[in-house]
Amino acid sequence: MNQNTVRPNLDLSGVGSATGGLYQDVKVQGIGKVHGDIDCIRCDIEGVSEIQGHVRAEVVHVRGKAKVQGDLFANDIDVEGATSVAGKCQAQQKLRIRGRVSVRGDISGDVVMVEGINTVEGDCRGQDVKVRGKTRVSGSIFAEEVFLEGIMRVGGSCETDTFRSDGTFIIDGLLTADRILVRLERKSRVKEIGGEEIRVERGSWSRFLNRSRRLTADIIEGDEIYLEHTKARVVRGNNVTLGPSTQVDLVEYYSELKTIGNAKVGASKKL
């Protein structure tokens, strides 16, 4: 983006339409439609508006019941309301999605915050990813840190350095991280877990949800493992501790295996 180019402003209010192009500031309010791509410094889209193209800017704010028929590229992106994006949302710094937002492509940013009831058909990439509310990611999550509050469904895998959950999740693929901390509130499910330090424990509110509180996994593999309220086919690690309400068909361990309370082990093998 060449900021030395002289650019006009685009202010579209009420019912109307305009042509895309190079602009300084773009404001689309009411029932407005822009035909073509927008390249600007700042873009504000509100109301029942539609952008028939891509948007590239320094800052993008999308609110209301808006449609973007292309990609969003910016340093900072804030999308909220009942908004749909046909392409991807790519922020160089901060991406915030809140409300009831649908993104058909990938989302990315250094900081990614997803709140409300949202759908992402692609992957989610970021250094710091925070998910609150009810979110579905059809692809995979790649991040340095993932923090979950609420309900999250991931169609692929979740690969991160640190994973912390104070909510509920379903991950169809692999959950892998150096450090994994899961505080169970309701049922959660993942195909496989791999990490160095893995800890699954009862959440602060789960004492009132004893019947529905459980993590289910096929394979859990790590170095230091502590599990509560977990059902797994195979647990493999260096030091393994199985806490209350844990059921494991087979435990394979290198150094030590401990069981606490009513933990049940079908078979164990020291490697």
**pLDDT tens column, 66-108:** 999 999 999 999 999 899 999 999 999 999 999 999 999 999 9
Q: The pTM is what?
A: 0.92
Which segment of 142-151, 184-193, 205-214 scores lowest on mean pLDDT?
A: 205-214
DSSP characters over 203-258: -SSGGG-TTT-EEEEEEEEEEEEEESSEEEEEEEEEEEEE-TT-EEEEEEEEEEEE
- Average pLDDT score over residue span 240-247: 96
Residue 268's pLDDT band (cuts 50, 70, 90): very high
DSSP annotation string for 167-192: SEEEEEEEEEEEEEEEEESSEEEEEE
What confidence tens digit (pLDDT) does each residue in 197-219 have?
999 998 775 455 455 689 999 99
Measured distance CA(153)–CA(157) in Å, rounded: 10
**CA gap 269, 44 in Å, rounded:** 61
